[in-house]
Structure 1
Amino acid sequence: MLHFPISKRRISTRRRTLTKASKRDAGSADEGQGGGEGSRQKDLSDPRRKRGRPPRVDTPMEIRVKNVLKALRKLKDESDGRLRISTFEKLPEKKEFPEYFQEIKDPIALDIIRKNVKRREYKTFDHFIADMELMFENAKSFNEDDSDVYGDAVILQEEMRKAAEVEKARRDEDITGGEEGERGNKPTRLPLEKVEHRGETYRVGDWIHIINPNDPNKPTVGQIFRTWKDHEGQIWINACWYYRPEQTVHWAEKKFYADEVVKTGQYRDHHIDEVLSKCFVMFFTRYSRGRPKGVDEKKCPIYVCESRYNEIEKHFNKIKTWKSCIPDEVRGQDYELDAFEKQQVLKKLPSPILHLLPENAEEGDPLPDAKMGVENAPPIIGAVFKRARRDNVSLPLLGFCGVRFCGSLV
């Protein structure tokens, strides 16, 4: 990964190679919580195993964008085999090239453009092309005409314009359908920006209640990650499930907040008719400070979340970054808060299923399993087990706002 551009006042062929940061697999945040080889084998053998974020379903415009970027990645410098597009991966370091940021008013690089594509910031193909044009024009403006960077910009810009014309000439129906459409097969999924259902509008990022056939009185809490229409015209959503405490298997001394839910690694497809209504899930650090502005808690129940739950290992991990839990499309968004006059003290309560702990339970007993029911729904009921406190788990401490934090056990 190489920096651009080279300063007019310090023309040089020197380029610095950066180590590409490792990217966490889409599902690893939910799967990699204490699992070794044995746990992976157990996970794979579980017939109910449905983990990992759903595959992205690209719109025709997004497929056009990716095809243009793919065309640019094919161009190499014949003298050294270098990918010409690699020059534009990242902006130069401000400390190393302060003059670049003084001269270039709208700096942009390929990593920024890719992030915009991932978060679906581009609503039109022309918007994407405009940012690409800006990137190349910035490089040509700052660098000398005989520099490598200038030459790369000219060649890439010409190829981009050719590829853009080809993509604009294609019909949407010829390229719709994500992976299926790209392979030329009949498209199976048409992504939707929004879904109208029972008087409500649903979009990626919305929190919802889904029919729970295992317990109709406790609808499944989920967050929408995908919305699409199939080739028969049926509308579907994919949602990440959040379990209620009583749907988990946990340590007998574990405590929970009132109205707490925990994030799972279950991303499931549901027909739109299974969606009951909207709800809302707040990260615990904000839950103590207020409530979402404009949300009527009587019509839209509000839950609090602090942890991820690995149902294979029966393990809870406190969430460090809330943005890592939500869809890419809404990570740059936020909601206004109706703040409380005084920050609330959140209290944790004993497990709601503590009564399920057998009277003769011992610390060495095998971990129990949740009681399962219908396949596409959370467990009917979880379970409780007895364990000794680990040496590295301290007693509950008084947190930053009076919250008592409980250490994570198995």
Structure 2
Amino acid sequence: MALSNEQKTEIEGVLQKILDMTVPVHKKRPRRLAEMFLVLVDKKDWAEYYQLIPNPRCLNGVKEQLSKNAYKDPLQVYEDINLVFLNAMFYNEETSQISRDAGTLKRVLDDEWHKRPLPLPPVTLPKTSAQVAHNVPLPTHAVASSSSTPAAAPSQPPEVAPQPAPVPTATPTPPAPPRMSPVPMTLAPATPVAATASVPRSPERPITPEMDVEGGGSPEPETSAQDMALDGESDAIVQQLEKGLPRWQGFDDVGWSQGIPEEHFLSIVEAISKHTDSQGNRPASSLEAVPEDVNEEKKYQSSASFDKDMSCLFLKARRWYELGSEAYGNILLLQRLYQALVSTEPPSGPPYASKTNFAGLPAAPGTARPLHSTGPEGVPGVTSYRVPTRDRQFIDEIQYKGWTVKLADWVHLSNCDDPSRPIIGQVFRCWTSDEPSKKGRPSLTVCWYFRPEQTFHPATRQFWENEVFKAGHFADHPIEDLVEKVAVQFTARHIRGRPRPPYWYPGWPLYVCDSRYNDRERIFVKIKNWNSCVPEEVRKSATFMPIYPFERPVFPRRFSSPFMSGKPIKAPGGIGDALERQEGEKLEGGGTGRKRARRANTGLTGRSELTDRVGQSKGVYVGPPVQDAVLATPAYQYQMQQGQYGRASAPPQRPAVDRSIGTAAGATVLGHNALTERLPSETAKLFDRDPETNEVLWFAAPPIDVAHPPGPQYSLEYLNFLARKRKKTEHSANSMDVDAPPKKAAEVRPTVTEQIKSVLSMLEL
């Protein structure tokens, strides 16, 4: 069967994107990367090429075959285009320009293919490729730069290695989140297989001296330029430490389901495989794209082994896709559906439908409101500002699906609004319900942490990589909402090392927190006392989250606002400014809080003026220039209009001078046609750096070779006056009142005897 018109149109769009891909050339017109791959090389001049390459391909040949309707399957077209670039990377040296151009166009192919409604390509290399025929791996730049899909993976799924291979550090783009090597397990829909998944033990790491960082210290400890890692060294320092850290040993044999009938195994798998969302999409297609490794046994010995195999499958898929992607959200949606199906109260179905994506709470960070609050109709109140204690029995820990969750652990929880962005929370209480309808059901009370896209912030604010913000919301989640355990480090420890087990293992998600976020007033406040952010039981504990230290402090990369990236993003946050609460205005949940006087015409700044608008300033900035994008943002223009009309009584502020390097180099004049490149680390190390920000010092112009005019000096008359004044002060009894008239001597009144004698003498008696 030939390709449909829709498929043919989408594939032609992918080819056109590849053909239009260009790179700028200094003082010349842009260079088209596809020029070298349009036609095949001559057989007479390049006979060796046809001896080594099993299936030569070129872009013009693929385009011609597509126009003749010679392809029967879209994946055949993908394989031929992919072979064009794989052949070029095989035949040419890894450092050659042709090999690098081929790697770039391969990434364009993968990105554009996955953006369109086309069948997902296989994650392994084609069997007809030269790499498979000669057993040669892909070049380093092709493997390290693959971001959209794991299409550049080796032909066989790699086994878990004791030490992960280091990632090149010269690339200016941020590295992809660490991927955990696929766990050797699989799930066959038709016939269950036995759970034999195991993770090999890593070699023991040499004992590293434990580093104690005081929890109540400064949020950003002072570091000198000598102690701060340079741009190119940061990745190497982190990778060198993580390479030797102990590896996670896999799920524990605790908390697995025991009461699943064997005859229900197949129906559960089919329910997950055939589930469709409200728009008719089938999330299981993302799960099926993960490589499989079928075991020999044909039957599960117990429901616990089936439950463990399913958890291993979801874990493998979570590590395969990038957090925040649509495929990652599909995996978490199916995991939450599975955990609901094997719970004590499964949903009704099939078909299974849920307005909350099967999550236990009907609202999430950015949309949730406190209990008993008065808000827009339809917005449920699910959070509180303190840990609830009614109708519950507190316990030390909860064991669920191989995890042991206890006080002060950080976890990922199901997000009803966006499954691809799981809720980050710290456990403040583990408990079982005393309510008659939920008697004995285990649950967690967690404090939420917001992601940058779940906050309202100025367009110019910058964020660290994987930065989150502590909120004042406490929420009760059923244990079925648990996705996995994660870790959150406060700044003082994050820049100095990585958490020790069991708080974190390489491959687990890791976040950094530097500030609190008040979603009622949209205010960011830097955390000065870290102890106030964790449960009281662990505040003074010396064993809570110790770290393996770096050789020197390493700050995370900095990014611009996720709403300034130019890509559409569906999130509850946005570009906005702080909200000033008026006097007597009621808080959410009742009350007026503390009173705040109006600050009109006083010259004082309100609390909204004191919020942290700029964000992070330390660390390497890898985001795009935002000066022009900020001015072009409709939200920013709206704020400017609101500021002009809403603050007429405020004193005029002096406009800030833009002293950025982009403005000095003329980027503002060029507008969106300006191209910026990161300074290579080999060049940056030759120049001096700012001792506070660790950024290269730059100057808008070279120094002028002229004599500097002398500064103003005091006149001889004034110096003479100062000398006379100092001399008079030294000889005066009243040295503190030099310019005032001398004080009168204190008058002493005579005694009574003296007064009688004076009167008698006057009377001459």
Normalising by structure 1, report the TM-score.
0.46
User: Max radius of gyration: which structure?
Assistant: 2
More strand by share: 1
Normalising by structure 2, report the TM-score.
0.26
